[in-house]
C-alpha cells in the first residue's frame, strides 16, 4: 500500500462569514464544490453547491439521543479545520491509485441535552458530513433531511433489504411516498447529486431514505431503533456526490471517506473473470461432471476462476478444485451466510477451504442493514483476510467503502442484476447509480443462441456489460455452449481485465445510453449500451490521448452473431458505431506499431499434467503412519519447469520424511515420483481424509500452476464410551438439504434461527435438527450396542407442509426406515441394536415432493456404549 501522508492541520479560525450575520459560514471549498453552514433560530442547515450553483441542502441537522433532542436550540461552541491529503491503492474499482484532497471542517454545537461535532468534508466530487458524539450515547435517529429542487429529476430504487428493486424515474416531489435505498440520483439543471453512505460498519446502523409524495425532502431512517455506544460514537458519512454526470460517474468519494486498509500485503488478492453456471443452469452446481465443463470453458478462454454455486457437495468439491487448478483455473465457492454465521462455523469451514485450494467465497442472503448484521460483516471480513480467502457479498447491502478497508472484498451485489432478467433500461441506469459507489456483482453477459433467443438485449449489449460495469470479480453467465456460439465475444472476454488504472464516462444519460472507457496498462476497453431503438453512437477518441496512432478493434452485432472490425485511428478522431435496438458494442484499443494486427495479448492453456497417488493402507489408527507415493506426469503442452512435488500435510498430521522432489524441467511424456510417510497425530482430522500430493511448476507462459492428485483413507476417531448422544460426538461426514448445517441440540429453523427440538408438542433437550435431504455419519468403532431416538417433522413447520422419511444405516446396512412423516404427526420411536457397528449414518429424504419446509428432528439420539 502507498504510505499515507499526514494531514496538514490549520488554525481553528477558518470559518468565513457568508454575510455579516455570525450564523452563516462558508466552509473551504475544493475545485468548484462548496458548502455553507447556516444557523437560524438554533436549527442548522448545510448547503451544497457546484460551480456556484446550489445543488441541494440538508435541513435540521442533528440527532435525537436517549438524553434528548440535539437538533434545536443549538449554539456553536468550538470550530477547527484541517486539510487532508492522502494517497492509497485499491485492488478493485474504477481507479487503482487514488490521490485525495479534502477540506475538513469541524463545528461543535450543543444545547441543554448535550453536544455533537458536525464534521464536514469537501472534495472536488462532493460533500460529506457525519456526527461525532461523546460517549456513552444512544442515538435514536438522525434529523437531517436532504432537500432538492421540487422539479429535480430523480432515479430512485424502492428500498428492500437486498437492494434489488428496479429504479424508477420521477421528480424529487412526485416520487411516491415510501422508503428508497442508497444511492439515490437527482438532476437539477446541469448538476447531478448522488446520495450515499460511507464509513459504515458494525459500529453503526445502515439507513434508507424516506419520502412523502408532494415534498422534495428526503429524510434518513436507520435500520435499528437505536444505536448504543459505551464510548464516543461517529455516525456513518452522509455522502453527496455532486457535479456533472462525468464527475458523478467517476467519483471515488465513498472509498475516499472509508477507513484505510487493514492489511498491506495484497499479493494474494487477484481480481478476474469467472465462469458461473447457476443462472444458465440452476441445477448444475450439484453436478460434478457439468462443473468440469465450466472449468474447461474457463481454461479455454483464460478466465481466472470458476464459481461453484448453491448445491455443491464437499464429497466432490476437493476433486473439482484439483481438476480446475491443474488447468490454470482457480475455484470460488458459494455459501449461505448462515453456514458461516458463527465463529465456530468459520473456524471449521475456512481452514478446510484453504486446505482444498479454494481461493474465495461468495456469501449470500444476508439481506439486512442492521448494526448486528454489519458486525457480522466485520467478523467475516477479518476471518477471511486471516485465511487469505477473497470474498463476494451477494444478497447484501451496497458498498460503503469496505473494499478500501478490506482489499480482499472483490464485489458486492446490492443490485437488481441479470439473474432478475435482461433489461436494457435498467442496464443504462446502473452505471450512474449503484456502480458509482463500488464493485457490483451484476453477473452479466448472457449470449443468445438460436435455441435460446433473448430479445431484451443483443449479444453486443451483453458483451459490453463487463466493461460498462466495474466488478473485481465478474461472473460470466453464459454456458460453455453459448460462449462457443460467439467466438468473437469469447475472444474479447479472454482479453478483458477486471481491475482498472483509469475510468472515464464518454457519453450517456440514465435510462437511455452509457458509454464508458476503462484503461488497464497501455490498453483501453470501451463498453457502450443503449435502451432505445437502433442508431449510431458517437465515440470521440480523445480519451486515448497523445498524438500517436491507435489500433481500434470494435465488436458489434452482425445479425445473431458478433463480428469484429479493426482500424488505425488518432485520438483526434471520432468513431460512429452502428448499434441495434437495445444493442451495444465493445471496443479494445492499443498503441499502434507497423504491422500490428490485433491488441490481443497471447494466451496459452496450461500444460496437461497428471498426478497419480497411492497409499500403503486404506485406514490408519491414531498415532499410526501411512506411506504415500506420488507420480507427476507431464503429458502435453510442456515443458514444465521448476517443478516441486510434495505431499500437502493435513492439519494435525506430521510428515516423517520431509524432502520434496524437484526437477528443473520435464518434457512431454516424462514423469517423476516420490514417496513420503505421514503420521496421524492426536489432533488430526478424523473420518474420510484425502492425502494429497501436488506438483507446483512454471508453465511455458510463466504462470505458476498447481497440479495434484489424492488418495482417500479413513482416519479412525476414538470410539465413544458409556452413555452418550450423537449430538455430542464428532461427525465424520455431514450434508444438509438447505441453509445452515445440521444443528446439534436445536431444530434447524430453515431461514429462521435454530430453536428447540419439538415434535407434535414433545420437546427434546438433546438431538439433531436437519433439513431434508440430509445425512450425517459418526464413528462408533464397534463399541456401542443400542441407539434410541424419536423422529419427526419439527413443530416450527406449518402443519401439512413438511414431509420427511428417516433412515438409519450401520456400516452400509439399513437398520431402520420410516414411512413419510408430516408436520403435526406424532414422533416415531426408534430403538435399534447397533452391536458391532463401526459407522452409524442418520439420513433423511424429502418425502419425494421437494425439500420445502422439510425440517426434520432427531430427538434424543442416545447411544449405549462400552464403559
Cβ neighbors of 346 (< 8 A, separation 6 or more) are 340, 379, 380, 383
Distance CA 645, CA 235 (A): 53
Which sequence positions are flagged as catalytic?
A: 364, 419
User: Grid cell 455533537 — which residue?
Assistant: 116
Q: Which of 367, 45, 56, 52 lies closest to 185, judged by CA?
A: 56
Strand partners, 81: 105
- As a residue count, the chain comes to 867
Axis crossing angle, helix 343-356 with helix 371-386, rounded to the nearest 10: 30
Cβ–Cβ < 8 Å for 704, 679: no
Q: Which residues of 553-577 are buried (b: 16+ CB within 10 A; e: fewer)?
A: bbbbbeeeebebeeeebebebebeb
Cβ–Cβ < 8 Å for 110, 44: no
Distance CA 216, CA 56 (A): 10
DSSP string, 605-636: PPPEEEEEEEES-SEE-TT-EEEEEEEEEEEE
Cis ω before 183 (30° cut-off from 0): yes
* Sheet strands side by side (includes 217-222): 16-17, 24-30, 33-40, 43-50, 53-59, 145-147, 217-222, 207-211, 178-180
Distance CA 16, CA 120 (A): 15
Burial of 41 (0-12, 13-18, 19+ CB in 10 A): exposed
Cβ–Cβ < 8 Å for 658, 753: no
Q: How far apart are the first and last CA of the chain?
A: 59
Cβ–Cβ < 8 Å for 237, 257: yes
DSSP string, 124-174: TTEEEEEEEE-SSEEEEEE--EEE--TT-EEEE-B--TT--SPPEEEETTT
Count the Cβ atoms, other than its own, within 10 Å of residue 151: 12
Distance of CA 722 to the CA centre of its chain: 46
Q: What are phi and psi of 91, to 5 degrees?
A: -90, -20
- Angle, CA of 491, 492 and 496, to the nearest 5°: 125
Q: Which runs of consecutive H residues, i.e. helices, occur in 211-356? A: 245-250, 253-256, 288-301, 317-325, 343-356
Q: What are phi and psi of 402, to 5 degrees?
A: -60, -30
Q: Which runs of consecutive H residues, i.e. helices, occur in 357-473? A: 371-386, 402-405, 424-429, 459-468
Q: Which helix (H) or strand (E) holds 694?
A: strand 687-698
Cβ–Cβ < 8 Å for 862, 826: no
Count the Cβ atoms, other than its own, within 10 Å of residue 595: 5
Count the Cβ atoms, other than its own, within 10 Å of residue 205: 24
Amino acid at each position: 500500500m502507498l504510505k499515507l501522508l499526514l494531514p496538514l492541520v490549520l488554525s481553528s479560525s477558518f470559518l468565513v462569514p457568508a454575510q455579516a450575520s455570525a450564523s452563516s459560514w462558508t466552509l473551504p471549498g475544493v475545485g468548484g464544490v462548496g458548502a455553507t453552514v447556516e444557523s437560524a433560530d438554533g436549527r442548522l442547515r448545510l448547503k451544497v453547491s457546484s460551480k456556484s450553483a446550489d445543488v441541494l441542502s440538508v435541513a435540521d441537522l442533528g440527532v435525537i439521543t436517549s438524553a434528548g433532542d440535539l437538533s434545536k436550540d443549538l449554539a456553536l461552541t468550538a470550530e477547527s479545520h484541517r486539510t487532508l491529503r492522502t494517497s492509497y491503492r485499491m485492488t478493485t474499482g474504477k481507479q487503482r491509485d487514488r490521490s485525495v484532497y479534502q477540506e475538513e471542517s469541524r463545528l461543535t454545537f450543543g444545547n441543554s441535552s448535550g453536544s455533537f461535532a458536525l464534521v464536514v468534508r469537501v472534495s472536488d466530487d462532493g460533500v460529506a458530513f457525519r456526527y461525532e458524539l461523546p460517549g456513552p450515547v444512544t442515538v435514536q435517529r438522525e434529523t437531517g433531511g436532504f432537500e432538492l429542487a421540487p422539479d429535480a429529476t430523480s432515479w430512485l430504487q424502492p428500498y428492500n433489504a437486498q437492494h434489488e428493486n428496479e429504479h424508477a424515474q420521477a421528480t424529487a416531489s412526485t416520487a411516491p411516498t415510501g422508503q428508497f435505498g442508497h444511492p439515490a440520483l437527482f438532476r437539477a439543471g446541469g448538476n447531478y447529486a448522488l446520495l450515499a453512505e460511507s464509513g459504515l460498519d458494525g459500529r453503526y446502523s445502515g439507513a434508507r431514505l424516506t419520502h412523502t409524495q408532494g415534498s422534495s425532502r428526503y429524510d434518513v431512517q436507520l435500520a435499528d431503533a437505536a444505536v448504543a455506544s459505551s464510548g464516543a460514537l461517529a455516525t456513518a458519512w452522509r455522502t453527496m456526490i455532486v457535479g456533472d454526470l462525468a464527475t458523478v460517474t467517476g467519483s471515488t468519494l465513498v472509498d475516499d471517506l472509508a477507513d484505510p486498509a487493514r492489511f498491506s500485503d495484497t499479493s494474494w488478492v487477484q481480481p478476474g473473470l469467472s465462469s458461473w453456471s447457476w443462472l444458465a443452469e440452476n441445477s448444475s452446481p450439484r453436478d460434478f461432471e457439468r462443473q468440469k465443463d465450466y472449468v474447461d470453458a474457463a481454461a479455454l478462454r483464460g478466465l481466472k476462476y470458476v464459481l461453484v454455486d448453491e448445491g455443491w457437495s464437499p464429497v466432490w468439491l476437493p476433486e473439482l478444485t484439483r481438476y480446475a487448478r491443474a488447468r490454470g483455473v482457480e475455484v470460488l465457492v458459494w455459501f449461505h451466510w448462515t453456514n458461516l454465521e458463527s465463529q465456530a462455523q468459520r473456524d471449521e469451514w475456512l481452514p478446510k477451504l484453504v486446505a482444498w485450494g479454494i481461493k474465495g467465497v461468495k456469501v449470500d442472503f444476508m439481506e439486512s442493514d442492521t448494526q448486528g448484521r454489519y458486525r457480522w460483516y466485520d467478523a467475516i471480513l477479518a476471518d477471511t483476510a486471516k485465511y487469505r480467502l477473497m470474498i463476494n457479498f451477494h444478497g447484501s447491502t451496497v458498498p460503503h467503502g469496505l473494499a478500501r478497508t478490506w482489499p480482499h472484498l472483490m464485489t458486492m451485489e446490492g443490485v437488481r442484476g441479470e439473474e432478475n432478467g435482461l433489461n436494457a433500461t435498467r442496464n443504462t441506469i446502473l452505471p450512474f447509480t449503484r456502480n458509482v459507489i463500488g464493485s457490483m456483482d451484476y453477473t452479466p453477459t448472457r449470449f443468445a443462441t438460436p435455441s435460446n433467443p433473448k430479445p431484451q438485449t443483443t449479444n453486443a449489449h451483453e458483451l459490453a456489460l463487463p466493461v460498462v460495469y466495474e466488478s473485481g470479480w465478474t461472473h460470466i453467465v453464459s454456458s460453455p455452449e453459448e460462449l462457443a456460439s460467439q467466438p468473437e465475444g469469447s475472444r474479447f472476454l479472454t482479453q478483458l481485465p477486471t481491475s482498472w488504472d483509469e475510468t472515464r464516462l464518454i457519453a450517456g444519460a440514465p435510462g437511455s445510453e452509457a458509454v464508458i472507457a476503462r484503461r488497464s496498462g497501455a490498453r483501453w476497453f470501451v463498453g457502450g449500451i443503449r435502451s432505445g431503438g437502433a442508431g449510431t453512437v458517437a465515440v470521440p477518441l480523445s480519451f486515448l490521448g497523445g498524438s500517436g496512432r491507435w489500433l481500434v478493434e470494435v465488436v458489434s452485432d452482425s445479425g445473431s452473431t458478433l463480428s469484429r472490425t479493426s482500424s488505425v485511428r488518432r485520438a483526434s478522431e471520432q468513431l460512429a458505431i452502428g448499434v441495434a435496438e437495445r444493442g451495444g458494442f465493445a471496443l479494445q484499443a492499443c498503441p499502434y506499431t507497423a504491422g500490428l494486427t490485433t491488441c490481443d495479448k497471447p494466451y496459452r492453456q496450461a500444460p496437461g499434467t497428471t498426478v497419480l497417488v497411492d497409499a500403503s493402507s486404506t485406514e490408519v489408527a491414531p498415532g499410526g503412519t501411512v506411506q504415500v507415493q506420488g507420480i507427476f506426469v507431464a503429458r502435453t503442452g510442456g515443458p514444465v519447469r521448476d517443478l516441486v512435488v510434495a505431499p500437502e500435510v493435513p492439519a494435525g498430521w506430521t510428515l516423517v520424511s520431509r524432502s520434496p522432489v524437484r526437477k528443473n524441467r520435464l518434457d512431454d511424456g516424462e514423469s517423476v515420483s516420490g514417496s513420503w510417510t505421514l503420521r496421524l497425530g492426536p489432533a488430526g482430522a478424523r473420518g474420510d481424509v484425502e492425502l494429497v500430493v501436488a506438483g507446483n511448476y512454471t508453465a511455458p507462459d510463466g504462470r505458476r500452476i498447481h497440479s495434484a492428485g489424492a488418495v482417500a483413507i479413513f482416519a479412525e476417531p476414538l470410539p465413544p464410551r458409556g452413555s452418550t448422544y450423537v449430538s455430542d460426538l464428532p461427525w465424520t461426514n455431514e450434508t444438509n438439504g438447505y441453509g445452515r448445517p445440521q444443528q446439534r441440540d436445536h431444530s434447524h429453523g430453515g431461514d429462521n434461527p435454530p430453536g428447540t427440538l419439538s415434535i407434535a408438542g414433545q420437546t427434546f433437550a438433546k438431538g439433531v435438527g436437519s433439513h431434508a435431504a440430509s445425512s450425517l455419519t459418526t464413528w462408533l468403532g464397534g463399541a456401542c450396542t443400542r441407539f434410541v431416538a424419536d423422529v419427526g417433522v419439527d413443530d416450527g413447520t406449518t402443519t401439512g407442509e413438511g414431509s420427511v422419511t428417516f433412515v438409519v444405516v450401520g456400516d452400509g446396512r439399513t437398520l431402520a426406515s420410516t414411512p413419510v412423516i408430516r408436520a403435526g404427526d406424532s414422533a416415531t420411536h426408534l430403538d435399534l441394536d447397533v452391536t458391532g457397528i463401526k459407522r452409524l449414518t442418520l439420513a433423511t429424504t424429502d418425502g419425494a415432493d421437494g425439500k420445502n419446509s422439510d425440517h426434520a428432528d432427531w430427538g434424543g439420539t442416545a447411544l449405549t456404549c462400552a464403559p
